[in-house]
Amino acid sequence: MNPVLALAALVVVGAAIVAVSAREARTVVLALAVVLLVSPVIADPIAAPVGLAARLVGAILAGYLLWIAARDDASMKLAHAPTGGSRIGWPAEFLGAAAASVVGMSAHGLGAPAGGPVIASAAGFAVAALAVLPVLTGRDVLRVAIGCLLLLDAGLLVRTALGGTPGPLEQLLVALLLVTVAACAAALGRAARLDPPGGFDYATEAPIRVRRGPDAHPLPESERDHPGGVAGARGLDERVRPRDPSPPRP
Amino acid sequence: MSLLPFLLVTGIGAALALLSRGMERVATAIGVIALLLAVVTAALIDPGDVLRIDDAGLATTAFLRLFLLLGAICGVLLAVIGAAAGSRRDASAVTLALLATSGLALALPDARLAVLAATAGGVVGSLLTITPSGGRMGATIGMRALRAAAVAGTMAIAATAWIGRDLSELAAQPVVFGLAYLAMALAVALRFGAIPMHAWAARLTDSVPEATLPLVTAWAPAAFAVVALAWADQSIAPLLVDVDPMRYVVLAIGAASILLASLAASIHDDIEHVVGYSIIGDAGVIILAVAVLDPAAWEPARTFILAFVVARSAFAAWAAATRATFSTGRVGDLRGWMLRSPALGVAFVAVVVASIGLPGLAVFEARAEIVSLAVDGPLAAILLLGTFSPLVYYGRLAVVGLARPEAGRGGIVAGTRVALTPLDLTSARRWLSTTWDANRAFTATILALVLALVAVGTAMGGFGGPAAAAGLPPRLEGITESFAPIDPNATPEPVPTDEPAASEPAGETPADAPSLQPVPTS
């Protein structure tokens, strides 16, 4: 076993444990960035420089986008916002990841000779096990986003273990995917934080479904005051603001 | 490479539209201009182009060209309808991003790469839920949509990685092939929000305007489904492995989606929910196609997908125009809508024809063929009848539309006629704004009618749809007979070895052993 790959796998799994266990949003984002940065290194042979550069730039960009959503910003009235963190504690997460890595190591190749290193399989299974709980039980935007990114990263590690080192175009597409997920999650997280009372928490489910009107090009007031209209008939939320009411930029 | 201008226009257009989202009119203008350019660049795509990048690359096909062309046309029309009837400020950017990722996904011959692009397209749709007010509820719903796309993407990445390698020394049970296939099929179902995985799609229907709904629940998953179909036909179908238990699961999901989504659409009282569940119901037919695992389903499945995305876009456009015209989306409040807005009535009839089809139309034949290939016997008849269940909710809407309007609301509504305002050259901008506002419902109605007619043309097999659908998936090399199933009774080709291959039991390639078992050597 290549000791460098083993070390990289340990870093990835350790950072993933921090990412799913910590409650401080910035710590979580930093740990995720480490996972995304080190994951492409777990390949034998190591990826071509162009592909590796794409992954590294993508990881940094993904981490930075989430950082923007997670950081405190007094000028935007974005107060400190923690995330859910692990409900079972980091020791339990660690043990679950260790067990999953053993499974991944023993199931390497899934019945056929694999094209990648066994350590990638172990790391992929461990990260996947860590991602399951945030994805399934997460109740705030950042935690679910972290879970989704970890899950995708786990899938990519398993893909490396099965099929060998991805080519440059695939690395570029992976970077595009991770940045897209991080950008959308950051936008959603920021939207949640800007809504009182702040924080990344999910909205409480309303007792009835609430229709939310268009925010762009709404119909004029005179046309929306129809007596049979939705707002009049069901008391639904048809509030539309003609201008973007987002807070002023600093 | 004729695809590159399209990718550049859609990619850069999406980025510019997102960057200017604070100025919604500017963002819409950028989006519409980029979408118009996308129509032009999609039309200029030359099928058969190949761009090699290392050992991978992009290749164009006639299906790719038609899919993107129809997508760009629908995108333009839905963007303008959204501008007239109410939309999201990110709608144009999301449409452009979806087109860009769909173009990549359909042009990548390697399924391992294509699913990455298709997953990115699904994730982008979550941006449609973001609004300045009520951001938390929008973020919650958007995050669920993003989660569905990410989970489906991970399943597809794992499935394609497992099959997409050298399996000549396979030692696993054939059931593993079935699991890989099941993972991909479930990923398709999850992306469409098929029943019982429809919770995220149902909430999304509450959250986004009608004109934007098909982008997330029809167009993006359709590109993903095309990739999955190509992968299944190339990787699973030729193996002749017994994956029936997994197929039954996929068939059950498809059948449940067809029948239960129609039921849900029939009992819901809001037209946006009718549109949402109608998309899920039609997606059930695509899931049936994924369950067929027979090369014979390739052409009808892709023909149906083309008709499905355009017809459901037209239905969503009709719903948006109806809401703009009558200022309500409640079915109960729409009594007499067809009498009061004949143009909307014509568009509605066109949508019904495009989505249900008539015997002889391409969409009708494609749906019937998919069902007959998926199941046999009386079940096929029942399921085929089930595919006509949308007639129930269409009938309900028609009955409401032909009912006597409520007292004091008779006559043709103003939104169905052009409203002319006095030309004021001293204040042209104000005049334009006033004229636009006075004709918003009319604009939405006319464009919905145009889109419905495009849908009818697609359903009839126009624009070269069936021919494009029958073509092979993208290839970097020359055309190969990739879909020919492996004959289990065929004599294995002799392999040059030092020892004679006579020790191999001849004719013992049973159906229960995967045909890609190692080439016989002693």
According to the model, what pLDDT value does residue A222 have? 52
Average pLDDT of the segment spanning B346-353? 96
Structure tokens at B275: 């549109």
For residue B514, tell me if it sits in a domain: no
- Please list the alpha-helical segments (H only) found in B268-420: 271-292, 298-326, 337-340, 342-356, 362-374, 377-386, 390-402
For residue B493, tell me if it sits in a domain: no
Does residue B407 sit at the A interface (CB-CB below 8 Å)? no
Count the domains in chain B.
1
Structure tokens at B208: 């986004």
Could you write out the three-class secondary structure of B27-55?
A: HHHHHHHHHHHHHHHHHCCCCCCEEEECC
Structure tokens at B178: 């079935």
- Cα-trace Rg, chain A: 22
According to the model, what pLDDT value does residue A184 have? 94
pLDDT digits 0-9 by tens, B380-430: 999 999 999 999 999 999 999 998 887 666 666 656 678 777 777 788 888
Distance from CA of A119 to the nearest CA of B (A): 16
Residue among A50, A121, A132, A169 with most chain B CBs within 10 A, to mutate: A169
Give me the DSSP letters along B163-191: HSS--TT--S-THHHHHHHHHHHHHHHHH
Sign of CA dihedral B307, B311, B314, B320: negative
Chain B partners within 8 Å of A176 (Cβ)? 116-117, 120
Among all residues of chain B, which has the CA nearest to that of A170? B113
CB B185 within 8 A of CB B287: yes
Chain B partners within 8 Å of A226 (Cβ)? 326-328
- Residue, of B54 and B8, whose pLDDT is higher: B8
Most confident of B32-36, B294-298, B491-495: B32-36
Nearest to A244 among B83, B132, B137 (CB): B132
- Cα-trace Rg, chain B: 24
According to the model, what pLDDT value does residue B395 have? 95
Distance from CA of A174 to the nearest CA of B (A): 7
Structure tokens at B467: 């021919």
Report the complex ipTM: 0.86
pTM of the model: 0.86
Among all residues of chain B, which has the CA nearest to that of A51? B54
**Residues counted in chain B:** 522
Average pLDDT of the segment spanning A195-219? 69
CA angle B478, B482, B483 (to 5 degrees): 145
Residue among A215, A225, A244 with most chain B CBs within 10 A, to mutate: A215
For residue B519, tell me if it sits in a domain: no
According to the model, what pLDDT value does residue A163 have? 87
- Residue, of B286 and B244, whose pLDDT is higher: B286
For residue B88, tell me if it sits in a domain: yes
Does residue B132 sit at the A interface (CB-CB below 8 Å)? yes
Task: Please name which of A159, A151, A40, A153 lies closest in space to residue B164, comparing C-alpha atoms.
Answer: A159
For residue B192, tell me if it sits in a domain: yes
Domain boundaries, chain A: 3-194, 206-250
- Residue, of A220 and B62, whose pLDDT is higher: B62
> Is B328 in Cβ contact with A233 (below 8 Å)?
yes
Average pLDDT of the segment spanning B370-381? 91
User: What element of type H or E holds A93?
Assistant: helix A90-106
Chain B partners within 8 Å of A184 (Cβ)? 123-124, 126-127, 142, 146
Chain B partners within 8 Å of A130 (Cβ)? none
State the residue range of the domain holding B32: 3-470
CB B368 within 8 A of CB B384: yes
According to the model, what pLDDT value does residue B75 have? 95
According to the model, what pLDDT value does residue B429 have? 83
CB B204 within 8 A of CB B141: yes
